[in-house]
Amino acid sequence: MQQVKLGIIGGGTVGGGVFDALQRNGALLASRLGVTVTVQRVAVRDLKKIRTSNIPKKLLTTDWREVVFDPQVELVAELIGGTTVAREVILAALKMGKPVITANKALLSAHGEELFAAAKKYGANLYYEASVCGGIPIIKSLREGFVGNRINALYGIVNGTCNYILTRMKLEGADFNEVLADAQKLGYAETPPDLDIDGHDAAHKTGILASLAHGFWINPKKIHVEGIRHISALDIKFAGELGYTIKLLGTVKPISNLLMTMDASKNTSARKSQIANRKCQVQVSVYPTLVPNSHVLASVNGVFNAVFVRGDVVGDALFYGRGAGKDATASAVLSDLGDAVLDLKSGAKNRLPAFVPHECSGCVAPIEEVVSQYFVRLNVVDKPGVLAKIATIFGELNIGISSVIQPEGHEGKSVPLIFMLHYATNGAAMKAFAKIAKLPAVKGKPVMIRVESFE
Ligand code: NAP
Ligand code: HSE
């Protein structure tokens, strides 16, 4: 049987997981591919480190060049993370015409354009299934499975650590920092975990998915990102009372779709052409979102990820699975390994180029122009006239209130005041919150969480 020698850079959670999975399922993979994959070398940082994986010591080196430049190594897996050495590793391998597999969404987000251009230039493929949603084959599905669909909306719970934290806060009333420490012990969190909890890891992944769905490279700086640090037990409680669950959601949708449905009665021909001009503007954002409990994404719990895709031919489709951890991520790397080996065997290069322009050259819509519905929690002094002042500010900015909750309070004391708001642009909503925050009766920073109705 034909043999392919694999060089792995990184022997941690993912690299170790890939090695162990190859030991376990290598024969199965070989029978399916008609090619045996053997690991030639593994680069790590510290040879003395005690490892939970079964990588034999004799395969280890601390010099990644010994792996990439080894003439026997035909295929390289970059599994170290970070955006400096990892970039060097990938560019060096591609320059030698060696295909590369990576799980590194931070690197793809920051340098994707350069790396895919290098892959094209040197005729070596770059595979990245493990970069988004761990074990869920979402890259392959979007790129190949939905090649005949326009993607009208995509919503993703794409960060396992945040979903694990929010789930345990909701179901167990657990403390944020304790759950984060557990996520780190379980190998879910990035180093440092700020990448997860401040929403950046989800933004890297959402950007990659948006690029595939809309055919243009998403500059990470254009993605509006909010993390979960400010989500409190109170927000989870009030959202629950209103029939919602808070999820960190990556959202990708052409803004014209929502504008058409939002105010259908006002769709004059002038307005329709105004909307059509914005056809190629896409909302690409990551923020905590109130998801109705009746929607399937509300029940995606723990480290599980899910991506909900709405295609114009397929309709609604849901992908669900473990979004992080050793085995789930190893499964995605093995999927790329299968593709890479078959492409090597058949000589296929850049079978489906990564990011090709679709029907129009798109751009990311500024968040101020995106329309959303909102949950707002204020802490106000309970005294006459406060509610009226706040309602006036919303009214002046043309923002409709759909409901108000004020738990029974004591005059003169601080009480929570919750508003659910109708659709409004984020620009108008932000102006309103800034004005409200300045009212003397409003104590602390208003909490605003967007609400998604999946229309
Ligand atoms: P990790 O456990 O920290 O492992 C990193 C590995 O890289 C370690 O073996 C480390 O060596 C090695 N390494 C670091 N710098 C190196 C260098 N300059 N030269 C040689 N080896 C070096 O990280 P991980 O969780 O496996 O993540 C790896 C990648 O997969 C990241 O891009 C991450 O974002 C991505 N990813 C992770 C998950 C997950 O669930 N963990 C899921 C999807 C994607 P030592 O072992 O000696 O320290
Ligand atoms: N830190 C990431 C997460 C790992 O929690 O989702 C998987 O990409």
Do both 184 and 98 map to the same domain? no
Domain containing residue 381: CATH number: 3.30.70.260
Whose CA is closest to atom 30 on ligand 1?
103
Q: Which long-range contacts (CB under 8 A, 24 or more apart) does 191-199 make?
A: 191/81, 193/161, 195/106, 196/159, 196/161, 196/162, 197/161, 197/162, 197/165, 197/227, 197/228, 197/229, 198/225, 198/227, 198/229, 199/159, 199/162, 199/225, 199/226, 199/227, 199/228, 199/248, 199/286, 199/287
Pocket test of ligand 2: the residue of 139, 196, 300, 301 to mutate, having most ligand atoms within 8 Å of its CB, is 196
Pairing of strands 151-157, 304-311: antiparallel
pLDDT, residue 280, reads: 80
Q: Which residue has the tokens 């026997």?
A: 72
- Count CA atoms closer than 13 A to 219's CA, side-chain side: 7
**Digits of tens for pLDDT over the chain (455 positions)?**
899 999 999 999 999 999 999 999 999 999 999 999 999 999 999 999 999 999 999 999 999 999 999 999 999 999 999 999 999 999 999 999 999 999 999 999 999 999 999 999 999 999 999 999 999 999 999 999 999 999 999 999 999 999 999 999 999 999 899 999 999 999 888 888 999 999 999 999 999 999 999 998 899 999 999 999 999 999 999 999 999 999 999 999 998 766 666 655 566 676 666 666 666 899 999 999 999 999 999 999 999 999 999 999 999 999 999 988 899 999 999 999 999 999 999 998 877 777 776 777 789 999 999 999 999 999 999 888 999 999 999 999 999 999 999 877 666 678 999 999 999 999 999 999 999 999 999 998 899 999 999 98
Do both 163 and 106 map to the same domain? no
Do both 295 and 222 map to the same domain? yes
Domain containing residue 50: CATH number: 3.40.50.720
**DSSP secondary structure of 197-228:** HTSHHHHHHHHHHHHHHHSSPPPGGGSEE--S
- Asked, for residue 197, whether it belongs to a domain, the answer is yes
- Asked, for residue 333, whether it belongs to a domain, the answer is no
* Type of residue found at 185: K
Q: Are 205 and 174 in contact (CB under 8 A)?
A: no
The verdict on whether 120 is a catalytic residue reads: no
Q: pTM of the full predicted structure? A: 0.94
- Asked, for residue 284, whether it belongs to a domain, the answer is yes
Do both 210 and 261 map to the same domain? yes
- Asked, for residue 348, whether it belongs to a domain, the answer is no
Chosen domain end from 365, 393, 420: 365
pLDDT tens, 362-377? 899 999 999 999 999 9
Taking the C-alpha atoms of residue 333 and residue 296, their distance in angstroms, rounded to an integer, is: 27
| DSSP-based three-state secondary structure for 325 | coil
Q: Are 43 and 64 in contact (CB under 8 A)?
A: yes
Ligand 2 atom with minimal separation from the 183 CA? 5
Q: Residue 237 carries which DSSP code? A: H
Chosen domain end from 80, 104, 127: 127
- Asked, for residue 351, whether it belongs to a domain, the answer is no
Q: Are 406 and 380 in contact (CB under 8 A)?
A: no
Do both 243 and 123 map to the same domain? no
Provide the number of structural domains found in the chain: 3
User: Which residues make Cβ contacts (< 8 Å) with residue 8, sequence separation at least 6?
Assistant: 15, 18, 19, 39, 41, 42, 43, 67, 76, 77, 79
Do both 88 and 67 map to the same domain? yes
- Asked, for residue 78, whether it belongs to a domain, the answer is yes
Do both 123 and 146 map to the same domain? no
pLDDT, residue 1, reads: 87
pLDDT, residue 324, reads: 86
Residue 238 to residues 29, 224, 233, 378, 404: CA-CA distances in angstroms? 49, 25, 9, 12, 11
Q: Are 203 and 220 in contact (CB under 8 A)?
A: yes
Do both 158 and 96 map to the same domain? no
- Asked, for residue 335, whether it belongs to a domain, the answer is no
Ligand 2 atom with minimal separation from the 162 CA? 5
Residue 417 CB–ligand 2 contact under 6 Å: no
pLDDT tens, 143-154? 999 999 999 999
Between the CA of 77 and the centroid of ligand 1 the distance, in Å, is 11
pLDDT, residue 317, reads: 98
Domain containing residue 318: CATH number: 3.30.360.10
Between the CA of 305 and the centroid of ligand 2 the distance, in Å, is 9
Residue 323 CB–ligand 2 contact under 6 Å: yes
Residue 366 to residues 140, 282, 410: CA-CA distances in angstroms? 29, 9, 42
Pocket test of ligand 1: the residue of 39, 41, 44 to mutate, having most ligand atoms within 8 Å of its CB, is 44
Do both 168 and 306 map to the same domain? yes
Six-digit token pair at 96?
Answer: 């030698």
- Asked, for residue 93, whether it belongs to a domain, the answer is yes
Do both 113 and 147 map to the same domain? no
Do both 108 and 150 map to the same domain? no
Chosen domain end from 307, 332, 365: 365
Ligand in nearest proximity to the CA of 42 = 1
Do both 301 and 415 map to the same domain? no
* Type of residue found at 122: Y
Q: Give the range of the structural domain holding residue 61, as residue numbers without chain letter.
A: 2-127
